[in-house]
Each structure stands twice: as structure tokens, then as C-alpha cells.
Amino acid sequence: MGYTIAEKILARAAGVPHAKAGDELMAKPDFVLAYDFPGYTDVYFKSMKEDFGIEKVAEPERFGIFIDHMVPAVTPKEEELHIGTRKWCEENNVPLFERRGIGHQVAAEVGYAVPGAFVVHFDGHISQLGTFGTLAIGMRRNVLEAFVRDHVSIRVPQTVRVNLSGELSPGVMARDVFHHLVRVMGPSSCRFQVLEVGGPAVAKLSTEGLQVITGLAMFTGAITAIVNPEGERLKYALERARKKLEPVYSDPDAEYSAVYDIDLTGLEPVVVVPPTPANTRNLSEYIGLEVHAGYLGSCASGRLEDLRIAAQILKGRQVKQGFMLNVIPTSQEIMAAAGREGLLSILAEAGAFVSSPSCDYCFGRIATMTDNQRAVSTGTLNVKGRMGSPDSEIYLCNAAAVAAAAIEGKIADPRKYL
């Protein structure tokens, strides 16, 4: 029997010849990533010194810290947190990426998405580095382990393989593909496992689209997702890689706990209705539902293909009076590219509020909704209170559907504007 890409990466990281699902190993992450957030990084930095007597990390090049939440700060306390983070990074000589964009995207841009690497973070959306053949796992609080010693304990996960085939129709995006997977496979189908995305349609999906699909893997129960890196993905990652590693690939006879064959032909745009990411429906069932706000951004959208389709829909049209459309490119690199393409001016002329990268729209820290408001959103999550009041509602959909809703002030089919 062969090995999965996840088994191969963990075997190398643990320094053992082979690893199989179920093995309990101590594996050395190639990179340890985090964004500063109260109760997380501030606690780790303090605990390192006070509980473990560690003044400085031994291999600063293995770390990467992002300031992407609470950007810009709105209270002195938030700014104090950032000051503490800057100080720790400086003292430890650890790379800090501040105001460069949402860390999970920036991590790929600055070369942490090394094919074959093992990466840990506390936040599970880091799984999107899997687009480049990187095994990136969100450990929640347990990531402290990676700050206080060089190996972390891990049980080698099983892998669920999904083979995508067929073609996406116009107006149907990677975002729809992911939520369709949840609909077909179920929200616990990949519990504690790796979601490996493959099949003939993967070559046709954009790199940005795969970042969306792998980045949302947690809503299938997966601990991460991964793609065997090929083509433009591999090239992108190798050009930027911070570490030289040999890319690895699943063997043809690798052992999977389940295999799903999913044909994307005929897939329609979907909407994920509140209050859980398990509720995928066809967008067509919700046409006409009044919405008050729209968010195009987050680590699960807000990239060039999302901005392009929104600009295509909004070009020469206007956001409906009273509708609040926030368009937040995911990184500075993306924002600059969108500016060069003229997308930002189209969006601004249509009446969108276009602002610099920040995580804060996704969790209601800014653009906060009040009772009885309803948003269409490309953010990561639609649980109660995620974007403000517990009595507001979030309908997750693709970037095109957000743009179409902005024109009409209600959920609309984006395909009629394409």
C-alpha cells in the first residue's frame, strides 16, 4: 500500500521512514504561524517566559507573525496588543507581517506555503496553504506546544479523497464548490481527517479558487485540506518558498478512508443560510430575500477573480440606495493588482466602500450589523452574532452573488448580469 501526501509530509517532519494514519508522532513543524489576538499570542509570549523560561526562540526563521486583526486599531488597548507583538518579534528576530493583508493569504505570498512543508497555526483557516501541497493545521490553543518546543505531538490523520470532475458554469465559483461538498458529503464527513482535493477539474480551477476550497475545510470536519501541487500552483510556491524541500505527492495506491467523485457540471450558485455553515441551499430558492449589507472579502474570497467578477457585474451600475457594500481585497498585493487592472475604480464608481485589507469585517468588529439586519457575505462563517448582533443574519455566497445583491438590495441571481 502507498502513502498519502499527508502521511509523507508528517513522516519527514517526524524524521521517520514511513508514517501511517493512526501513528502517534512527534513532528517538527517547518513553520509556526500566528496572528496577534488577545488570549492567543499575548498568552503564548507570556507563557513562554513565565511557565517555560524561554527568553528567545531558537530558530526564528521557522516563525511568522501577522498583524491582520484589529487593523486599524480602534481602542488604545488594541494598539497596545500590537505594540507587544512588534516588540516580541523584534526581540526574537521573528518575521512580522503587518498591514500586508490577511495572514493566511500573505503566508502564501511571502513563501510559507512550501510544497511538502508541515505548518502549524492556532487558526484552522491556515488549511488554505494546502493549495500548494503544504500540510497546514490549526491547533487552537495547542499551538503553544510549537512555541515552547521544536516538535508537536500529532496523530497521523486519515485522508478523505475528493475527485472533482466537470466544468463550472459562468457565475459559479470555487466558493460554491466548497459548500456543495459540505452538502453532498456532510459537515462531519471528514472529521479529524485530511480533505485531499484532486481529480480532473482541479487543473481547471484557479489557484485562488483552491485557496477558498482548502481554506474552508474545517466545515467538513477536516483538520486540514491539501492538493497535490502541480502547474501554476507549484510554480507560484517554489518561486516564493522560504525553505528548500522536495514536493511530495500521494501514491496512486495510497489508502483513503473514503473517496468521493463529484461532478461539477450543472452546479448552480449556492447560499449558506444561517445559523450554521452546514446549511447549503441553491441560491435560486432565496431570490428576492431582502438584504441590507454585503461583504466581499475575507481569507475565503476577496481575491482577484472575486474582484473581477464583482467589477464585471457592477460596471456601469449602482449599488442600491441604502445598501452597504464593503469590498475588502484580501492582501495589499491583491489590492495593488486590482488597482492596476482598474477594478477598484469600477467598484468605487458603483458605490462600493472599498477599503484596505483587514480581517475585521469578517467577525463584525467593524461594519457591525444591528438587530434584524441581514447580510450577503463571502466571509468564512454565518453563525449567530458573527457580524454583529445575534439577531442579525448572514447568508454566505460567492462574490458574484454579493455584487448582484448590492444592485437589487435583495438576493439575486448574478448570472443575469454576466
Report the interface residues with another protein, using CB under 8 A. Answer: 24, 26, 47, 51-52, 54-59, 124, 138-142, 144-145, 147-151, 153-155, 187-188, 191-192, 218, 221-223, 275-278, 381, 383-386, 389-390
Burial class (CB in 10 A: 0-12, 13-18, 19+), 368: middle
Least distance from another protein to the Cβ atom of residue 75, Å: 14
Least distance from another protein to the Cβ atom of residue 343, Å: 31
Asked whether 210 and 225 are in contact (CB, 8 A), the reply is no
Name the residue nearer to another protein (CB basis): 72 or 390. 390
Name the residue nearer to another protein (CB basis): 191 or 317. 191
Least distance from another protein to the Cβ atom of residue 238, Å: 28
Least distance from another protein to the Cβ atom of residue 363, Å: 9
Tell how strand 63-67 and strand 96-98 pair up: parallel
How far apart, in whole angstroms, are the C-alpha atoms of residue 295 and residue 361? 8
Question: What SS3 class is residue 15?
Answer: coil
* Closest among 221, 220, 140, 217 to 184, alpha carbons compared: 220
Distance of CA 209 to CAs 113, 345, 384, 405, Å?
A: 16, 24, 26, 21
Name the residue nearer to another protein (CB basis): 139 or 328. 139
Name the residue nearer to another protein (CB basis): 21 or 202. 21
Name the residue nearer to another protein (CB basis): 78 or 230. 78
Least distance from another protein to the Cβ atom of residue 141, Å: 4
Name the residue nearer to another protein (CB basis): 188 or 284. 188
Least distance from another protein to the Cβ atom of residue 348, Å: 32
b (16+ CB within 10 A) / e for 168-200: beebbbbbbbbbbbbbebebebbeebbbbbbbe
